[in-house]
Amino acid sequence: MSVAEEILRTDRSRIEAMVAADEEALECFFTEDLTYTHTNGVLDTKAVLIDKIRTSAYDYAAIETADVRVKTIGEDAAVLSGEGVLSVRTSAGKTVDVPIRYTSVYVRDGLHWKMTAWQSTGAATAQTPN
Total-model pTM: 0.90
**CA–CA separation, 84 vs 80, rounded Å?**
12
pLDDT tens readout for residues 78-125: 999 999 999 999 888 899 999 999 999 999 999 899 999 999 999 876
pLDDT tens readout for residues 24-80: 999 999 999 999 999 999 999 999 999 999 999 999 999 999 999 999 999 899 999
Task: Write the CATH number for 112.
Answer: 3.10.450.50
Residue 95 lies in a domain: yes
Residue 128 lies in a domain: no
Number of domains in the chain: 1
Residue 130 lies in a domain: no
Residue 129 lies in a domain: no
**CA–CA separation, 85 vs 66, rounded Å?**
9
Which 3 state secondary structure label does DSSP give 59?
coil
**CA–CA separation, 51 vs 116, rounded Å?**
17
pLDDT score, position 37: 97
Residue 127 lies in a domain: no
pLDDT-derived band of residue 130, with 50, 70 and 90 as boundaries? very low
Residue 36 domain boundaries: 3-122
Q: What is the largest CA-CA distance in the chain?
A: 46
Q: What residues have CB less than 8 Å from 14, skipping those under 6 apart?
A: 26, 29, 115
**CA–CA separation, 81 vs 118, rounded Å?**
10
